[in-house]
Structures are given as C-alpha cells and as structure tokens.
Amino acid sequence: MSLLSLAIWTPILFGVVLLALGRDEQAGAVRWLALVGAVVSFLVTLPLYGGFKLDTAAMQFVEKGVWIERFNVNYHLGVDGISLWFVLLTAFINVVVVIAGWEVITRRVNQYMGAFLILSGLMIGVFCALDGMLFYVFFEATLIPMYLIIGIWGGPNKIYAAFKFFLYTLLGSLLMLVALIFLYTKSGGSFDLATWHKLPLSGTAQSLLFFSFFAAFAVKVPMWPVHTWLPDVHVEAPTGGSAVLAAIMLKLGAYGFLRFSMPIAPDASREWAWLIIALSLIAVIYVGLVAMVQRDMKKLVAYSSVAHMGFVTLGFFIFSDIGVSGGIVQMIAHGFVSAAMFLSIGVLYDRVHSREIASYGGVVNTMPKFTAFALLFAMANCGLPGTAGFVGEWMVILGAVKFNFWIGFGAATALIFGAAYTLWMFKRVYLGPVANDHVRALKDINAREFLTLGLLAVPVLYMGIYPKPFTDVMNVSVAELLKHVALSKLN
C-alpha cells in the first residue's frame, strides 16, 4: 500500500477498531489506543514531505485503480504543492485534538475518539482525491462524523447546531453533485480531474458550473452571506469539534476553489472574480466588525475565522502568484491558529463552564503559563509579524495592492479590526484584576494541556519566523495553476 492510502486508511482503521471494541469501562485503554492511532497516522504522512519533489507541478505519490467500473470512477490519489501541507496539517491537528479530549470527554470515549480518527482520514482523502466522484464521497462523508460529534458532545443547543451544520452544507454539495455528473457527461464519461481541467466548455456551461461549485464551497469556507451556520455551530460544538472544524473543514471549501472552480471554469472564474472579491472584502471588513461586538468568546473566534477565510478567497481570486500562495499560507496558518484559539477557550471552559467574556477577567493572575500561550495565539490571530498569521495576510495584501490599491487598502484595514477584536478580548479576559471567585479558583494548565498548546505554539512561531518550507512546496504548483487559469477554455 502506498503512502497516500496509508495516510487515509490508517486513522480510519484505528477509528473502526475503537468503535467496534471500545467500552466506557476501559476508557483509559481507549484513549491510549486513539493516541497511538493518531500518532501513527501522523507519522505515516511525514515521508510525504520528505519525498516531495519541489521542482515539478505534476501530481506526486500517485495511486490509481479502478473503483466503480460502470461509471469509470477511479481510486485516483495524488498530492501536489497545493494539497501536500493540508495532508500533514490534518494528521497533526488530529493528534492535538485527541490529546485535548483526553480527560474532558468521559462519556462514550471510544465513539468520540473513533469519530475524530475517521474524520481525519476522510479529510485527508478529500485533499488527495484526483477523481471527482472520489472527492465528493470523501467531502460528503465528513459530514457524518462531524454531525455526530456536534450532536453528542455539544452544548445545550447542540441539536439545532448539528442540523444546521448538516443541512446547510448538504444543500451546497448536492448542487455540486449535479455539476459533477454534468461534467462527467460532457467529458464523455470521465470523472478524472485532469481531464476536466482540459475540457473546453461554453461560457454558459462554465458559469453554471462555477456557481454550482460556488454553492458547495462558499458554504463550506464559509463566505459572507452564507456564513451564518458557522457561529452557531462553533458555539455548540465540543472544543475538539470546533478546532477541527475551523482548522481543517473550512479549508476543504477553499481547497475546492483551487481544485475545481478555478481550473475547470477559468473563464467564468475570471468573469465572476469581482463577485468573490467583493464578498471576501465584506467578510474581511464587515464580519471583522461583527466579531468585535461578540460577548461569547467562541462566537468571536468563529467570526474571526470567517474574516480570515475572507483573506484566503480574496487572495485566490486576484489571480497572482503572491495572492494565491498567500491564500494557501493563510489557510495553513489559520489551521494552527484557529485550532489553538479554540483549544484555549476550551481550557477556560473546562474550568469555569462559561464562554462569556464577561465571566472572566484577570486570568493572568491565576494562570500565568496559560496566559503566555494565549497571548502568543492572540498575536498570531491578529497577524503580528513573527507569527504564522502575519505571513499569509501580508502576502495577500501585497497581491491585492498590486491588483488594485483600494482592494488592498480594504483588506489591510482588516489587520486593524483583527487586532482590535482579538486584543480587546484578550484584555477583558486575561488582564486586569481578578474579576470573580471563579477566576480566583482557577488552576494553571496541567502537563497535558501544556503539551496540547505547546504542540501548536511551535508551528505558529516557526511558520512566522521561517515560512520558506511552506512557500517552497507550493511555488511551482501555484504557478502552473495560474498559467492554466489564464488560458481560455471557451469553445
């Protein structure tokens, strides 16, 4: 079995074993098995980075086998510079989430851990799939474990959130399914992505396809105005669920833009770029302002995720090297930072059982170690130079200014808003005198929590100081993608 298959199926296999054998009476063994599964799954993705060739835009580690003969669907996997980092990121976040849920989850531990492991395998599948139908199957299948995670371990209003999450995203994907079948017919019976990239299409067909994909991916990203599910879901989801949702699941949508919308419908993409840019700017500025007035920490971070993902889509649709690379870097950085933000909130929530900013104040006095981590992640979230958050945002703004000064200007204001809402929250929660007895009773983070946050702090700093390994990988693939998008496919 080759590397990509291993990366996909190892966590799924561990997850299935956990579901089949785990009992709540042996929760300890279940947790260790889950950790072993997550770590092994992460380790098998490392050779991907080691063996990745930087000088080619072609797909690497390709696997191809017949899957459904009748519809010419192939089990076709491969990664290029665009997808490589997401495979590693997914496997890495999975390890962190398993550790983060260690003693927090006490009910049905095996199902919790199993769901996360299976989810991680499925998401890696999305990033590796080179066949339209295979992509769709992985893309949709991720809904099932996430639905259960939100619904079983979520907060008081979890059922509303679980349904909203499932149905909202399903609505978008079903339209994409029609688009995929349409492409299958148009291309004379092929689900192969590379074939679709070369397929000439009329202007109308491209526009229709573009909007079908848009329905699926914009909901997933989520872009303004279809972002409303995200805050509701984040608030109710358990900490681990929020972390995976923000860190990886949102990226599935943005990744879809790069893999489907842009190369399959390049003319429509260029024609409708103004729309995406406009929506992205609204996300960046307006949603940034919305974030500022939130009282619930999770909601605030959720809105900040929408704003940050706005940067990503903005970067993609200005069609420049630096913009697209910046968008991808921003996706990776946001993966680390948003996971860290949600896990930090989780640390507080586990102790006080409140997400309201007003319930806190002066946490630094009782939890100095934790506050140090929280400060680092807050800085990364507002894009301070030297942290992961800075690199992507800076690249996107640079690209945007080159494209059009006022768009760049609009995007740049987001740095101010981002700093405003993040730092203001930080001030109210962590700084100042001890606000109440709950805060006075707080105990600083234990070794496990230290490990979780530490694991995330390392890449956040590393990426900010030395982003070269990240950008090097994607350069050739991004250039190739842009070359492809620049050519008209009209027939």
**Cβ closest to other proteins, residue 132 vs residue 467:** 132
Nearer to other proteins by C-beta: 104 or 175? 175
Q: Which two tokens stand for residue 425?
A: 């929250």
To other proteins, the closest distance from the beta carbon of 177 in angstroms equals 6
Closest CB 154 distance from other proteins, rounded Å: 8
Measured from the CB atom, the residue of 77 and 162 that comes closer to other proteins is 162
Separation between Cα atoms, residue 34 and residue 11, nearest integer Å:
9
Provide the minimum distance between the beta carbon of 408 and other proteins in the complex, in angstroms, as a whole number: 39
Which residues are near other proteins by CB under 8 A?
19, 66-71, 108, 111, 133, 136-137, 140-141, 143-144, 147-148, 151-152, 158-159, 162-163, 166-167, 170-171, 174-175, 177-178, 181-182, 184-185
What Å distances lie between residue 434 and 169, 358, 361, 429, 443, CA to CA?
A: 42, 12, 6, 10, 13
Q: Which residue has the tokens 């929280």?
A: 374
* Alpha-carbon torsion angle 332, 334, 335, 341, nearest 10: 160
The neighbouring-strand residues paired with 192 are 131
Q: What is the smallest separation between the CB atom of 393 and other proteins, expressed in angstroms?
A: 35
Which of 297, 302, 177 is closest to 227 using CA atoms? Answer: 302
Q: Whose Cβ is closer to other proteins: residue 153's or residue 430's? A: 153
State which residue, 16 or 419, has the beta carbon closest to other proteins.
Answer: 16
Compare residues 35 and 181 and give the one whose CB is closer to other proteins: 181
- CA torsion sign for 193, 79, 334, 417 is negative
What is the C-alpha to C-alpha distance for residues 156 and 427, in angstroms, rounded to an integer?
28
Cβ of residue 55: shortest distance to other proteins, in angstroms? Answer: 36
Report the residue number, 150 or 291, with the smaller CB distance to other proteins: 150
CB 252 within 8 A of CB 219: no
Q: Least distance from C-beta 69 to other proteins, angstroms?
A: 5
CB 161 within 8 A of CB 132: no
Q: Considering the complex, what minimum distance in angstroms separates the CB of residue 148 from other proteins? A: 6
Give me the least distance between CB of 320 and other proteins, in Å please: 35
Residue 121 or 231 having the CB closest to other proteins: 121
Closer to other proteins by Cβ: residue 220 or 351: 220
Residue 355, helix vs strand vs coil: coil
> Dihedrals φ, ψ of 14, to 5°?
-60, -40
163 Cβ partners below 8 Å, 6+ apart? Answer: none
Q: Which of 467, 466, 452, 296 is nearest to 374 (CA)?
A: 452
Question: 443: helix, coil or strand?
Answer: coil
Please return the burial class of 291, using the count of CB atoms within 10 Å of its CB with bins 0-12, 13-18 and 19+.
buried
Q: How far is the CB of 159 from other proteins (least distance, A)?
A: 6
Closest approach of Cβ 205 to other proteins, in Å? 11
Q: Is 476 exposed, middle or buried (0-12, 13-18, 19+ CB in 10 A)?
A: middle
Determine how many CB atoms are found less than 10 A away from the CB of residue 458. 10
What element of type H or E holds 359?
Answer: none
Beta carbon nearer to other proteins, 29 or 174: 174
Q: To 5 degrees, how large is the angle CA 78–CA 82–CA 85?
A: 85
CB 155 within 8 A of CB 353: no
